[in-house]
Amino acid sequence: MISSLAWVRKGAAREVPAKYELTEEEFERISQLAGDRLQDAAMDMDVEEGQKPAKKSKATNGTSIAETDPELAEYDLDNYDDSATNWHLLLHIMCASLDVSIFGNVQGLTYHATNEEDPYIVMNEDEADSDEEDIRIRPTDNMIVAARTEDEVSHLEVYIFDEQEDNLYVHHDVMLPSFPLCVEWLDFRAGRRAEEGGHGNYVAIGTFEPEIEIWDLDTIDTMYPDAILGNEGGSSKQDKTKKKKKSKSTQQHTDAIMSLSWNKIHRNILASGSADTTVKLWDLNTLQCAHSLEHHKDKVQAVTWHPVEGTVLATGGYDRHVMAFDSRTPDNLTRWSVNADVEAVAWNVHAPQQLYVSTENGTVLCFDVRNGSDSTPVFTLQAHDDGCSSIGLHPTIPGCLVTGSVDRTVKVWDVRNDKPAMVVSREVGVGKVFNVQVCPDSLFNVAACGTSGGLRIWDVST
């Protein structure tokens, strides 16, 4: 299963990705982060030991996820948080058990001026050049990041799409500590390479854990994220107990991260929506939460920044409300009610006053924010027979709307003049569709993912 995906524009990726190097400075960094996580995990166990066993997680109306959707039964999402297997923690426990620095014997190492003089290096320069060519990313290549879970193991796959050759392949991947729910690309340097300046190539990942991980896509064989937002290192056991009871915090999320949106205008700002019902705005310069918003009364499924007004944010949740507001004055908001849980929200870049909303009953609504709260939709479209899990407006073709649904179809709509008409519909072979994304560099390529586990690129002109 692939739960989420994101395109990376041509030219954004480094031509030859760097190989990860575990320097002493890097070892100290990840040891600190890992130590914080180990401490948090130990305190979590201590707190939970004094509480009654949690009941089985339920979906809506008291039924389990496995009962409502048999295709997801194999992933055992009802009991995901109870899993004892956490590969990140296992790795860090092993690292923490070492009582000497991995660089403790560096003075006894023999140094060779060139690789040819080192008897332990058997790869010649031609072979090294061949390896470099294998990982080279051309300026005409698109990168796609996809969050995959298979056999209870989650990882981020980094694909390369060569449109000229119609070739899609996995370039490298990254192990993840928990089931991924959303991914968001960004070019702002955060974490270990923040001081380098310029634009980078990163992905933010939201999972069932209350933390957001930021990974460098220009480095392969990475052991640990470049930054973690919402890391609770240093919290006391008393703080943990309080958080368990109140289930909200102004400094970090306390439940799964369900949605992410990077601000392309104010590039150091990332917005997140969570199952803890809050929306948080993160400053990537400090890696701290700048604002915590509590407008919603249920899980926040969707957040998206306005493409022109860089301080305006739209959010949607399972409380069946959609909101738009200026983050500088968040209490002055525009609110709409819809007749089902919100699945996705998207601004119309060609008509920035329009906000599109999709819901779990398959409808797509278009609101004009200038008309104020609870205004009548510009139009309501019954786009699918089942939940409309994803929507996207084409960045270069006005009036082109793409929708994806758990009814297994991806559809393209002409919404010019606010009179939607379906152009084409297709089952693209990914099972129940979780996410669709229009390629930012192509007129016709749409990426889709879902329950089947495959990533598909659909040329909608064919």
Residue ranges covered by each domain of the chain: 2-13+142-459
CB 193 within 8 A of CB 172: no
CB atoms within 10 A of CB 260: 26
Residue 39's contacts (CB-CB under 8 Å, 6 or more residues apart) are 233, 234
pLDDT at 238: 46
Identify the CA nearest to 368 among candidates 395, 306, 323, 376: 376
Q: What is the pLDDT along the chain (462 residues), one digit of tens a residue?
A: 999 999 999 999 999 999 887 777 777 877 777 666 555 555 555 555 555 554 444 444 556 666 667 666 666 666 655 554 454 554 444 444 444 344 444 444 555 555 566 666 655 555 555 677 888 999 999 999 999 999 889 999 999 999 989 999 999 999 999 999 999 999 999 988 788 878 999 999 999 999 999 999 999 988 889 999 998 654 444 444 444 444 688 999 999 999 999 999 999 999 999 999 999 999 999 999 999 999 999 999 999 999 999 999 999 999 999 999 999 999 999 999 999 999 999 999 999 999 999 999 999 999 999 999 999 999 999 999 999 999 999 999 999 999 999 999 999 999 999 999 999 999 999 999 999 999 999 999 999 999 997 899 999 988
Output the pLDDT for position 344.
99
Confidence at residue 40, expressed as pLDDT on a 0 to 100 scale = 59
Q: What is the pLDDT of residue 235?
A: 44
The Cα–Cα gap between 301 and 280 comes to 13
Helix (H) or strand (E) holding 91: helix 87-96
Residue with tokens 């993912």: 449
Q: Encoding tokens for residue 427?
A: 């089952």
Cα 15 vs. chain centroid, distance in angstroms?
A: 24
Instruction: Give one DSSP letter per residue of 187-215, joined into a string.
Output: EE--GGGGGG-SEEEEEEEEESSS-EEEE
Cα(207)–Cα(216) distance, integer angstroms: 17
Neighbours of 422 (CB within 10 A): 13
Distances in Å between the Cα of 219 and the Cα atoms of 12, 135, 225 are: 13, 11, 11
**Pairing of the two strands 409-414 and 421-427:** antiparallel
Report the chain's C-alpha Rg in angstroms.
23
What pLDDT is attached to residue 244? 47
pLDDT confidence of residue 55: 47
Helical pair 87-96 and 24-49, crossing angle rounded to 10 deg: 110
- CATH for 2-13+142-459 (1.20.1600.10, 2.130.10.10, 3.30.450.20, 2.40.10.10): 2.130.10.10
According to the model, what pLDDT value does residue 133 have?
80
Identity of residue 454: G
User: Quick check: helix, strand or coil at residue 259?
Assistant: strand
Specify whether the CB–CB gap between 334 and 323 falls below 8 A.
yes
Helix (H, G, I), strand (E, B) or coil at 120: coil
Q: How high is the pLDDT of residue 194?
A: 82
Bridge partner list, 304: 314
Q: How far is CA 371 from CA 323, 330, 356, 415, in A?
A: 13, 18, 14, 19
- Helix ranges (H only) for 213-313 are 237-246
CA distance 355 to 364: 10
Given a contact cutoff of 8 angstroms between Cβ atoms, the answer to whether 424 and 411 are in contact is yes
pLDDT at 101: 44
pLDDT for the residue numbered 398: 96
